[in-house]
Structure 1
Amino acid sequence: MAAKVNRGSSVIQLERGKSREDCRRWQLRAPDGRDPETGESGTRTRVFVGTYAEAVRALRILIEEAEDPRTVWRRKALEHIARIQNAPSGLA
C-alpha cells in the first residue's frame, strides 16, 4: 500500500506480510522534475527505517529536497542554531 503525500510521491511498505503498524522498512519516492537536456523525468528514492508516521514525515523532507536542495540544509542549520542557543551556558 502506498500513501500519497504529494502528486507522484509515495511511501511503499518493504516488509511483506506485516501490517503497517508492524512494518519498519519503507521506500520513499518523490518526483525529481525533468532533465532539461533529455526531457526525462526522474525520481528520488530512499529506504527509510522507522514507523509509518515517521516515514511520511521523512517523505515530506525528501520532497522539499527534490524541489530545492538548499531548503533542507537551511532547515538543519536553523535547528542547529536553535539547539546551541538553548544549551546551558558553557556547553555550547
Structure 2
Amino acid sequence: MLWREEQMKVSEFEQKVWELDGIRIILRADSNDEVGEYERVRAVAQSSSIAEFIENRVKKHIGDVDVVVVDGRGTIPRRNSLVSTIRETYNRE
C-alpha cells in the first residue's frame, strides 16, 4: 500500500498559508478541489524569495496546480521579491 498525503480543500490550503506564513496565495483551481495538506509549523523565513517559497513550501503539496502570490495592493509581485517585502504590503491591524 502506498502512503498517501492527507488532503484539504484548496480554500483551506490558501487560508492556512495566509495564517501561518502571512502570504496571500491563490491556487488556480476550484475552491472545493483537494490538494495535499499544508502541514508546516513555522512561517517561511523573511529572507526567502517568493520563488523559493512557492517551490520549497507550496508546490510539493499542490502538484500541477498553478499558484500565484498576491500582495496587499492586489498585484502579483515578481518571483524574486522577498517574503519580507510582500508581508509589509498587507494592512494588518
TM-score (norm 2): 0.26
Structure of greater Rg: 1
Greater relative CO (CA pairs within 8 A, separation 6+) = 2
More strand per residue: 1 or 2? 1
TM-score (norm 1): 0.26
